[in-house]
Structure 1
Amino acid sequence: MKKHIPNAITTLNIICGCLAIANAFDDNTLYISCILIFLAAIFDFMDGMAARLLKVSHPLGEQLDSLADMISFGLAPGIILFQYTKHLHSVNEIPLLTENPWIFYIALIIPIFSAFRLAKFNIDTRQTDGFLGLATPANAGFFIFVVLVYFFPDLPQVINTKNLVLPIISNPLIMLGLGVVFSFLLVSEIPMFSLKAKSLKWKGNELRIIFVGLFLFFLLTLNITAFPLILLVYIIFSAITAFNKKPTS
């Protein structure tokens, strides 16, 4: 019986992803799609934890987990970005997009590259302690929290950053451009550092501790705006770490 528990949790991930897609085509429920993707990410974390705690593993579970990720963190974010940029354009029309509506379909590059990223991950034996390229849940997280920052009412912030980021996240061309950039990050060879620490000592965990400290600072001062910003910091930190580890000639 216990061997089916991780798969049952993965199924909840799939359900959230499907419901997110169903709600993404209506501007009034677009934010609900984002919340559902967040729930899917929680289930994605829980199924792996359940498998480790129960000490159960099955090839079916591994394949199911990958397919669930494709739905929740590949297809759903692409559709969300597609609908979100169309909404932004309806609020403030851009002539280029009016004349070339096909540009909106650039958002669907996310599920395409997510499929390649997941397939690559499944056969890559190098990605044990960390990731090569941006993980699909992290990529999805960036875009869903951008949408939530846009749609949610102003929340109390020590530092009011929403007015600063709003011109960026409310520009459909910028958001589509970010979709392309993040899609290439999905299949890149940039090592993304893992937050899993083997000990609680400072030595060897400097980057992780600094990153967690920044996240807590951003969360306390910026509220929901902290989530997309901290992902950008994560990518920058990873790139700096990868650059510093390159052997010098």
Structure 2
Amino acid sequence: MKRISLIPNIITAFGLAIGLFVIFKVNMIEPGAGNFELVQKSVFLLLLVALADFVDGAVARAFKAQSDFGLMFDSLADAISFGVAPSVLLLKTLSLQQGSYLSFVAAAGAMIFSLCGMLRLVRFNLKSIEAKGNLVEMSIQKKNFTGLPIPAAAAVAVASNLFLLSPFLTNYFEISNPLRVFVLTAVNIVLGYLMVSRWKFPSLKRLNFRMPSFHLAFLAVLFAVFFLYGIFYYFSIVFAILSWSYILIAFILSLIRLIAGKKSKTLKDFDPDDEDDEDKLNF
């Protein structure tokens, strides 16, 4: 292994270590003992993992240190940090009696989320390997993702869990444990479907804004002010809005594409993949 390729792998290992720490730390508490503060701290740590996941890929591309080992290692880290950790956090924060129907429902939803996330990663790896040397396929992959990326799914899962525990919500509404179980299970099932679906989701790394630089800078500053204020004082609400907004934006883009029609070139990259493309991967 070249020395330069160690740098992105070390960053990946750092993110994986944080993900494992979240799982081990949460497992030390009693079931149902997870409060808002614990979930919030876990969310901060998982956001740090997401940052490491972004940086390791950027560093690998910058130093041209991409490798099959790095691809597999990164996927393994994502499977644990974004596929397993949110499910463990969910189950530990719910007051579930062993053997009850609520425990079965919650466990089933968590398993669907984790399993679909891992299938999503396997499909992504297969497509990445097949796209090597094919400039058209590589260009398409850089523009958007087929299926909801697992970091985004994990963000929505933990954001929903945090929001239902937030004082902002509980001070106005009484959220019973069965209601939390069914809502979060439904969220996990929807996220699981989106991860293995053929719907297209935009790559934030390839976003382009066609507007004067002054207007863009003004909007960026305005967004930053409201964003920082919300993060400091209403983190659970802002985080939930941002995480769900990514899914909403993807559906709006796909809807525009459907309205424009197949003959139009408008947002043609957001056509769902054909069944034949999925059959080639045995999915």
TM-score normalised by length of structure 1? 0.77
The counterpart of 2:234, out of the listed 210, 218, 223, is 223
Deviations along 1:156-195, whole A, 9 cap, x unmatched?
xxxx677568749972211111111111111111111222
Structure 1, 163-172 or 234-243: larger mean CA deviation: 163-172
Structure 1, 215-224 or 114-123: larger mean CA deviation: 215-224
Counterpart CA distance in 1 for 2:51 and 2:17 is 13
The counterpart of 2:70, out of the listed 61, 65, 69, is 61
Q: CA deviation at 1:32?
A: 3.9
Say which one has the larger Rg. Answer: 2
Structure 1, 65-74 or 27-36: larger mean CA deviation: 27-36
**5+ long unaligned stretches in structure 2:** 132-139, 213-217, 264-283
Deviations along 1:80-101, whole A, 9 cap, x unmatched?
22222x23x58xxxxxx94553
Correspondence 1:11 to 2:25? no
Check the 8 A contact 1:21/1:33 in 2, yes or no: no
The counterpart of 1:136, out of the listed 135, 146, 150, is 150
Counterpart CA distance in 1 for 2:72 and 2:24 is 23
Aligned residue number for residue 268 of structure 2 = none
Counterpart CA distance in 2 for 1:236 and 1:212 is 23
Question: Matched residue of 2:210: which SS?
Answer: coil
Aligned residue number for residue 112 of structure 1 = 115
Deviations along 1:51-107, whole A, 9 cap, x unmatched?
1232322211111001110010111112122222x23x58xxxxxx94553222122
Counterpart CA distance in 1 for 2:172 and 2:220 is 23
Check the 8 A contact 1:133/1:192 in 2, yes or no: yes
Change (3 A) 1:165 1:147: farther
Q: CA deviation at 1:213?
A: 7.5
Counterpart CA distance in 1 for 2:124 and 2:114 is 15
Q: CA deviation at 1:145?
A: 2.8
Question: Matched residue of 1:171: which SS?
Answer: helix
Correspondence 1:239 to 2:247? no
Structure 1, 14-23 or 4-13: larger mean CA deviation: 14-23
Question: Matched residue of 1:17: which SS?
Answer: helix
Aligned residue number for residue 270 of structure 2 = none
Q: CA deviation at 1:130?
A: 1.2
Q: CA deviation at 1:10?
A: 0.4
Question: Matched residue of 1:55: which SS?
Answer: coil
**5+ long unaligned stretches in structure 1:** 91-96, 155-159, 204-208
Identity within the alignment, %: 27
TM-score normalised by length of structure 2? 0.69
Counterpart CA distance in 1 for 2:221 and 2:254 is 19
Check the 8 A contact 1:218/1:230 in 2, yes or no: no
Check the 8 A contact 1:82/1:108 in 2, yes or no: no
Residues 35-114 of structure 1 aligned to structure 2 (within 5 Å): 35-84=44-93, 86-87=94-95, 98-106=100-108, 107-114=110-117
Check the 8 A contact 1:77/1:140 in 2, yes or no: yes
Change (3 A) 1:219 1:23: same
Structure 1, 227-236 or 214-223: larger mean CA deviation: 214-223
Counterpart CA distance in 2 for 1:232 and 1:165 is 21
